[in-house]
């Protein structure tokens, strides 16, 4: 006899298989979805932090460049050498632009005479800082200077401190002074 048995169509089967439903693993699906969400969030936050950091670095670099230029200019501007008055005036005019250049050119002869009559001075920059960046790309800076000079007989030394509002503007890849005001 064969272990197989022939069933008629109207007979009930002896063994019935349960309906096959694949088991759902919600835990694994949920873990993968949450890991993907966390990863996407981490990438987004990292990108935003990187962009912010780069922006701050670029801004700090720009501040350093304009501060370095302003310090150098103000040290030269406050250091007078009456024996080289023409060189002093030409050096200042080469670094001037805009309103400052116009004022300096208009008063060039008076400035030349006053420098030639003055005692030699040594100017130093005590501190400088960027006040603000203007819409036209120029920077307004505050600069504190100290000017040291000697009396005509050379026995006494005088020191005078000044504060300046300096506006520096970049022209052709070079910084120039477009406005210079002494703060009283």
pLDDT, tens digit (0-9, with 9 covering 90-100), for 73-94: 999 999 999 899 999 999 999 9
| Burial class of residue 168 (count of CB atoms within 10 Å of its CB; 0-12, 13-18, 19+) | buried
Burial class (CB in 10 A: 0-12, 13-18, 19+), 178: buried
Please compute the mean of the pLDDT values over residues 171-177 and round it to a whole number: 91
Any idea which architecture 64-183 has in CATH? Roll (3.10)
Residue whose structure tokens are 């022939």:
6
Q: What is the pLDDT of residues 49-80, one digit of tens each?
A: 999 999 999 999 999 999 999 999 999 999 99
pLDDT surpasses 80 at 12: no
Report pLDDT for 76: 93
């Amino acid at each position: 006899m064969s272990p197989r048995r022939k069933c008629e169509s109207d007979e009930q089967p002896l063994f019935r298989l349960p309906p096959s439903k694949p088991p759902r693993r919600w835990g694994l699906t949920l873990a993968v979805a949450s890991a993907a969400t966390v990863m996407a969030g981490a990438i987004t936050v990292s990108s935003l932090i990187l962009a912010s950091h780069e922006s701050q670095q670029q801004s700090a670099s720009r501040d350093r460049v304009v501060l370095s230029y302003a310090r150098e200019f103000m040290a030269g501007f406050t250091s007078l050498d009456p024996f080289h008055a023409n060189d002093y005036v030409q050096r200042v005019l080469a670094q001037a632009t805009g309103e400052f250049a116009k004022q300096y050119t208009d008063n060039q002869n008076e400035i030349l005479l006053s420098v030639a009559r003055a005692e030699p001075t040594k100017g130093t920059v005590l501190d400088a800082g960027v006040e603000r960046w203007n819409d036209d790309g120029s920077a307004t800076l505050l600069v504190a200077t100290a000017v040291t000079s000697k009396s005509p007989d050379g026995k006494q030394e005088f020191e005078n401190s000044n504060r300046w509002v300096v506006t520096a503007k970049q022209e052709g890849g070079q910084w120039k002074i477009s406005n210079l005001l002494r703060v009283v």
